[in-house]
Amino acid sequence: MTSTEKIYFYPLWLRIWHGLNAIGILTLIITGISMQSSVESSHIVGFSLIVTLHNIAGILVTFSYFVFFIGNLVTPNGKFYIVKPSGFWKRPIRQAYYYGWGMFHGMKAPYPLSAKRKFNPLQKYSYILVMYLAVPIIIITGIALLFPEIIIDQVYTFSGVFVTAVFHSAMGFFISIFLMIHLYIASIGKSPLENFKSIITGWHHV
């Protein structure tokens, strides 16, 4: 494999999904923080408009998630999310060591990308947690908060709406932290913009 080889990692459907999802998630984070602050400024954006934008973004993310989920079922992209039992803990620890020390001291990446490996172990595990756990939870709780009549009235001694809102906010915070790390990791490469160009063109330079 040469240093100039290119791999078509991001087909058109995946790039469209990524764009829609990015717009939706960013809108949800911004409007969600605004709603949590409980501060309304009629001189900037009214609270009712913030809620409406949040709900529209939630619908967009829900739609884009089904595109992602179905796309991974019917296209080869799904194979990149399969986790092998062997070295389950060893691989991410090795990758974490590289991120924390190795890449600052000239160490070669332990799991370089190839046609068979789109993600390193830490990326794969984090993407699985976010896309197959956090996002479904935030979608389900978001729908429940949009239609509170379907929520269980009482969960032990707590209000069902309160518990649902806590789960929704917790997953939103988790996804926000993931997004910041995701953007930082994406900036690591031959140049800070290399990976961002890949998600636009579909081609990744190895």
Q: Is residue 128 part of a domain?
A: yes
- Cα gap 122→96, rounded to integer Å: 7
- Domain of residue 167: give its range: 6-205
CATH number of the domain where residue 169 is located:
1.20.950.20
Q: Is residue 1 part of a domain?
A: no
Residue 114, judged by CB atoms within 10 A of its CB (0-12, 13-18, 19+), counts as exposed
Q: Is residue 154 part of a domain?
A: yes
Helix axis angle for 12-37 and 160-186, nearest 10°, is 130
Full pLDDT tens readout for the chain, 206 residues:
445 688 999 999 999 999 999 999 999 999 998 887 765 554 556 788 899 999 999 999 999 999 999 999 999 999 999 999 999 999 999 999 999 999 999 899 999 988 899 999 999 999 999 999 999 999 999 999 999 999 989 888 899 999 999 999 999 999 999 999 999 999 987 788 888 999 999 998 87
Model pTM score: 0.88
Q: Is residue 24 part of a domain?
A: yes
Contacts of 22 (CB under 8 A, 6+ apart): none
Spatial CA neighbour of 115 closest among 77, 72, 67: 77
What residues are paired with 154 via a beta bridge?
159
How many structural domains comprise the chain? 1
